[in-house]
Structure 1
């Protein structure tokens, strides 16, 4: 009964926030009346609170530009969490563009959709990301290329760092800063999530979104930590594969530290 009541109330809050803020975001995009991410940040915060997600931060987003944020990926809620904290734009898989509601909301925050399996289109996609970096957008790259179970960081896809190389090659910047960021879901109703139960927070692969959303609406009380590491300068002399390995290692280190000693 409590779960059903909570689901109704939380869903109502999400709908209310969306109905009020989406028109304001459309106005903002057309008139530049507010900074582009101002309304988005309010929406992300409203939804995370409705879902009962408590966000704890360590460190801050770098103010250096161009900036590529390289993060691990556990759930669709990662976007809400990061979007509630910092002014960033996202890089997402192409099929999300056609998802009901989610696709349209993603377009409102100028998400770049990429087809990771189609090499023919990878050049154009990297070029768009490079262009956005050059314009000063901080772009979030979920560098594993998929979602994990929340217990470990999967290997980073080095090809996804191609936009940084392209931005430099085209003369848009002499170097791109890559900031490692770790996301860790650590507690449920104040109780530490062990290895067995941590996947409750995760949304893996082709899992249906509806059941996972329903579970979060009913459950609530989820704690997540976001750790911002020191940015790494990537230049034309840098090795893409080596840089990816270094960033991956730093994300893994921060994530394991968060899981080992979660914030109370």
Structure 2
């Protein structure tokens, strides 16, 4: 009964907030009266509040532009987690564009959609990301290409790192900062999740969104670590694949550290 009441109240909270914020976001996009990310941040925080997800941040987005933020990927909730704390745009799978409501809201975020399965289009997609980078937008790339189980990371795909090469190739930028970011879900109701229960936060790609969202609403009170690392500076002549491996190593280090010693629950000195 309590779980059902929590779901109803959370959905009502999100619905009311969305009805208020969507028109404000549309006005922002059409007029530029205020930065578009202002409303987006508020909306992402609404989602996190409804889900009961608390975010603990170490470091922050680099000020260097162009900036490509490269993170591991565990769940659809990674988007509001990062969107609530940073002025960023996202790179997402093309099929998300067709999802009811989600596709519309992603459009308000000016998401770049990619088709990872169609290699012939990878150059065009990287080119679009490069344009956005040069225009000063911080882009988030979930480089695994899919979601992990919360315990282990998958290998990074280097294709879209080519956006950094393209941003430099036409002389629009001398260098691109590529910042490694680790996301780790660590606690539920104040208790460490551990290897057995971390997959509770994970949203595997072929899983339906609604049941997973319901599970998170029922459970609530989850803690997530976000750790921003020092950016890797990518310049003309640098090797895309080698850079991808270096960034992957740094994300893995931060991810392992967040699971091993999360900031939440750590005794204060």
Q: Which TM bucket (shorter chain)? A: over 0.9
* Alpha-carbon contact 2:143-2:157 (below 8 Å) kept: yes
Determine the C-alpha separation between the residues in 1 that align with 2:57 and 2:171.
34
* Alpha-carbon contact 2:94-2:115 (below 8 Å) kept: yes
Partner of 1:203: 203
Partner of 2:106: 106
Is there any run of 5+ residues in structure 1 with no aligned partner, and where? none
Quote how far apart the aligned CAs of 1:243 are.
Answer: 0.7
Partner of 2:190: 190
Partner of 2:121: 121
- Give the 4+ runs in structure 1 shifted more than 4 A: none
Quote how far apart the aligned CAs of 1:205 are.
Answer: 1.7
Partner of 1:172: 172
Is there any run of 5+ residues in structure 2 with no aligned partner, and where? none
The number of aligned residues is: 264
Quote how far apart the aligned CAs of 1:46 are.
Answer: 1.1
Deviations, residues 172-222 of structure 1 (Å, cap 9, x unaligned): 111110000000000000010110110000001211101001111111100
Partner of 2:60: 60
Determine the C-alpha separation between the residues in 2 that align with 1:128 and 1:159.
13
* Alpha-carbon contact 2:122-2:159 (below 8 Å) kept: no
Determine the C-alpha separation between the residues in 2 that align with 1:17 and 1:255.
32
Determine the C-alpha separation between the residues in 2 that align with 1:248 and 1:119.
21
Quote how far apart the aligned CAs of 1:230 are.
Answer: 0.2
* Alpha-carbon contact 1:180-1:251 (below 8 Å) kept: yes
Where do 1:1-264 residues align within 5 Å? 1-262=1-262, 263-264=264-265
* Alpha-carbon contact 1:70-1:181 (below 8 Å) kept: yes
Aligned with 1:90: secondary structure? strand
Quote how far apart the aligned CAs of 1:60 are.
Answer: 0.8
Quote how far apart the aligned CAs of 1:2 are.
Answer: 1.2
- Structure 1 length-normalised TM: 0.99
Determine the C-alpha separation between the residues in 2 that align with 1:124 and 1:258.
35
- Structure 2 length-normalised TM: 0.97
* Alpha-carbon contact 1:184-1:226 (below 8 Å) kept: yes
Aligned with 1:141: secondary structure? strand
Determine the C-alpha separation between the residues in 1 that align with 2:244 and 2:24.
38
